[in-house]
Structure 1
Amino acid sequence: MEGLVAQVVALSNPNDINQLLTTLKSSEAVFTQNYQHIAAALQTLDPVQHSLGFGYFLYYLGKGNLQAPDVAFIDNAARFFTLCDPAQIQAAPDVFCAVAKKLKEHVLAAGSPRRGILPLRCGLRALQPAPEVLTPLHADFFQLCLLSRCYNAAAEVLGQDIYDVSPAATTCTPTDLFLYCYYGGMLAIGRKQHARALELLLQALTAPAVVGNAIVAAAYKKYVCVCLIHAGQLLPLPKFTSSCVRHMVEAEARPYADLAAAAAARQPERLRRVADQHAAVFAADGNLGLVKQVVASLTVRSVQRLTQTFLTLPLADIAASAGLAGAAEAEEHILRMVAAGQIHAKIDGRTGMVRFADETRSSGQAGSSSAAAAGGSWDNVAGVAALDERLRQVLELNKRLQQAHDMVSQDRAYLSKVTARERSKYDLGGGGGGLGGSQGAGGSQGLGLGLGGDGDFGPFAAGGGM
């Protein structure tokens, strides 16, 4: 073990990092035979200067019979992820990700998921070749944020758009992509960013797949609830959604289809009845809280529709239209909606009349900024800056789409399949002469990008519901 430590110290420089990696890969027997000395050897290594070796020592330490939770392992791993050298750890992404999962297991066993948030956030940044690349640590980081209810800790990572999945550089798997979308959607729900939640959940639902899995099924159930809260109706899945996903959600999400139908009918009593009827199913899925928000959102939308039709209206009429018990309950709802900025209204306490104000005439710096951010006004500095940022994002996305198009159109495997498909439309070698109408024997096969489920959703099972 002393000799291996000496090699790690001597070879931990940019010129010898490949030689060190080869040495560490061939030293499994040394780690196994000297397992009891690994913890002591870690104290002689620096996680900054000897990041590659430090990661391997932690990997074999966690791989052995270490009982969770181990405080010393948590401390060493947290220090390693916070201080590690990206150039070294990117040489062995599989070892790095394995240590991260062990750290997550230990902090969960200790009942303190909050301890793993900062180390994993630093770790995923170190592992990323670029900010827009997905890593296996994204899902683990999101899960710890969910379990510790530190939703804002994930704000920066959650706000970063992911454009690339590079398995060779990060050992990312299809399950990592599905979990990133699912946990990210849950975090966005917790932060009341429903549009972002729909975007992430829809990515999980529309990812190329040849078989359904439990993560996609759970994502669809949350997708239905968020659609009803955010848009007031169930938005149909895009046409390019895999047929296996469509069949799976139709079979497993019937209670959610009933909920969507009741919400579309705009009948509060019917919606409450459906929510109560399937309450056990919603609770088992971890979505009972979301369903309650769906029921509450119907009342909000009913009041908002009234503001588009009337300038003044008695509280009693509002209660009758929104399905509320009476004028007192209607007044409570209107006050909450005004405080949340959902409507602009004034209540005359003497007459019980509600006067709905035009939102565009509302004053105040906060209101002006929010309107600009939402696209309602561009006559101030904040609005122009928001518009400029949006345009920059659109141009960047267009550039990436063009690059992806060029890459695919020049791919030999893609071109050969497209050529075979076109040739299969005509029988060029048939005995009848000329151009035959029958399909060739080769047949036409679509481009398969199978993202099937592993069958092992350990991180997903521990996630819990929103």
Structure 2
Amino acid sequence: MAPSDPSFDDIVSKIQATTDIAAVSKTLAPYLNNLSDTLTDTLVHRCKASHGFDHALLEKVWAFVTTCDGEQVRLTSHKAMSFAEALVKLATDTRQPIIAIKPLSIFIQRLQSSPGQLTMIHPLLAKTCLLAQSVKDIVPILDNDISDVKPQQTHINYKDFLLYHYYGGMIYAFLKKFERAVEFFKLAVSAPAEVASAIQIEAHKKYVLTSLLHYGRVLPLPKYIAPAVQRTIKVQCMPYADFATAYEKKTNTAIRTELEKVKPHFVRDKNYGLAKQCMEALHRRNIQDLTRTYLTLSIEDITALIGLGSEPDGTRRVEGIIVRMIESGAIFATISHEHTGGMVSFLDDPNQHNNTITMDMINAQIQKATAITAKLTAMDQAISSMPAFFNKQGGHGGDHSGYPMDESDYSMHMGYDNYVDEGAPLSVLPTGRDLLIASSSSPKKPRTESDSGKRGRRAH
């Protein structure tokens, strides 16, 4: 113990004086929490003092996170956070943030009383994964929807909740799981608030773009979103609303014009790469629309119909898009090069979706949606009860900034800034490269038989 700590006799007397369970959490736990913890404090000091990882230090870190008692660590949550922050700082200072990821992942599982419980370590781990561009270890944690928010037990605050879902949305977008990304950004934007946080504003910007990428339109936000957040979004995110309005009209020329108009805002926010991918997603949707109308089309005709006819390499680019759509199952078609330039024959989905497998899948989704609704209701109540939510001095005071985002928060945007071609490998996404497009297939309307060797319209 430190010289200033009480003696062992004093500690024993304090423990013996505690006569009921309520006193343990209200009196004894805070008392013990303020005492020096030799193992934890030693690890923190070693991480702070070290200029790099050595075998001995890694062994001690690993031994601690794999053997510590989760219940005891939860009673000393501020020391657990100090240890995690020191570990991440050492890893990032030595430009090896990936080293901290696995220990933090295990540490979170030790801290949690249930898989859906949010801890203070969650946003730190998510941010570290983005810095390291290694997200494999956090995905199982992200996939567990947060259903347990207990500030009294985990000592999390409102900002922890916002940052975890903001970073989580970025990770899912990084993995092309845009549906989950939209959900995470929505959770951040719709969190209860007296005054909008800067984190919520940034989350809404990415919510708009990932929603356009996955759905082709911006999904409406929940009706219970805080009026203060709604007002701030309307003012701060106007370029995104203008782009979304143009995008939903599906007119290629109008969208390009609007994109050039708002480009300075998107570049400043490090979201221009996402916006350009929305253009690629639009080409995919336009091609999907053609499959509902035509039996066959030349690649040259498709290029003209989706608005790329004026580009020098338009036909080559469109053929590449079609090939990848066929490979991913987004459309069912064949390409023949017996004709000059190539002909595309569109086929019907072989799955008629009229079997028990489809019905079981629908029922499972309904049950999942019902469970998520119940969890969100409980989580909303828990967030509203957080002290920081009511404390205007805690970051929700007199201006629209709310909880600000520091420089390292904004540096996370770099992974979205530059555009990457669709053909880039999925396994390599370093900082400075952008997200790849994930397209979804849609059911086709029935058609009548027609001459598949000629261009023709589908019968509805």
Q: TM-score, length-normalised on structure 2? A: 0.72
Establish whether residue 152 from structure 1 lines up as the match of residue 136 from structure 2: yes
Q: Mean Cα displacement is larger for which, 206-215 or 393-402?
A: 393-402
**Structure 1 residue aligned with 2:116:** 132
Q: Does 1:224 align with 2:215?
A: no
Separation (CA, whole Å) in 1 of partners of 2:67 and 2:360 = 35
Structure 1 distance, partners of 2:177, 2:68, is: 33
Q: Which residue of structure 2 aligns with residue 343 of structure 1? A: 331
Shift of 1:99: 1.7
Question: What CA distance in whole angstroms lies between the structure 2 residues aligned with 1:273 and 1:337?
Answer: 27
- Is 2:55 the partner of 1:55? no
Aligned equivalent of 1:463: 412
Change in 2 beyond 3 A, CA 1:358/1:184: same
C-alpha separation in 1, matches of 2:172 and 2:153: 27
**Which residue in 2 is equivalent to 1:416?**
none
Deviation at 1:213, TM superposition (A): 1.6
Residue pairs, 1:57-136, within 5 angstroms? 57-59=42-44, 66-67=48-49, 69-71=51-53, 75=58, 76-136=60-120
Deviations 1:360-405 (A, max 9, x none): 359xxxxxxxxxxxxx46545xx67756754654564577589899
* Structure ranking higher in helix proportion: 1
Q: Which of the residues 249, 262, 282 maps onto 1:278?
A: 262
Quote the residue 1:309 is aligned against: 293
- For 2:258 and 2:377, how far apart are their aligned partners in 1? 46
In structure 2, relative to structure 1, the CA distance for the partners of 1:173 and 1:348 (3 Å cut) is same
Highest Rg: 1 or 2?
1
Q: Is the 8 A contact 1:185 1:200 kept in 2?
A: yes
> CA 1:120–1:249 in structure 2 vs 1: closer, same or farther (change >3 Å)?
same
Aligned residues: 384
**Hey, what's the Cα distance between the residues in 2 that align with 1:404 and 1:294?**
32
- AA at the equivalent of 2:182: L
Higher RCO (C-alpha 8 Å, min separation 6): 2
How do 1:51-450 residues align onto structure 2 when only pairs under 5 Å count?
53-59=38-44, 66-67=48-49, 69-71=51-53, 75=58, 76-325=60-309, 326-351=314-339, 352-361=342-351, 376=353, 378-380=355-357, 386=361, 389-390=364-365, 393=368, 396-397=371-372
| Alpha carbons of structure 1 residues 347 and 182: separation in structure 2 relative to 1, 3 Å | same
CA distance in 1, matches of 2:327, 2:171: 24
In structure 2, what is the Cα distance between the partners aligned to 1:398 and 1:280? 38
Question: 1:109-138 CA distances to partner (integer Å, 9 max, x unpaired)?
Answer: 111110111111111111111111111111
Go from structure 1 to structure 2 and tell me whether the alpha carbon gap of 1:164 and 1:404 turns closer, same or farther (over 3 Å shift): closer
Is contact 2:98-2:129 (8 Å) kept? yes
Whether the 8 Å contact between 1:82 and 1:118 is mirrored in structure 2 is no
What CA distance in whole angstroms lies between the structure 2 residues aligned with 1:107 and 1:295? 38
Q: CA RMSD in A?
A: 3.8
2:124 alignment partner, SS class: helix
- Name the CA distance, whole Å, in 1 between partners of 2:377 and 2:257: 50
Identity of aligned residues (%): 28
Instruction: Specify the SS of the correspondent of 2:335.
Output: strand
SS at match of 1:312: strand
Distance in 1, matches of 2:334 and 2:200, equals: 45
* Structure 1 gaps, min length 5: 29-51, 363-375, 414-446
C-alpha contact 1:74 1:107 (8 A) present in aligned 2: no
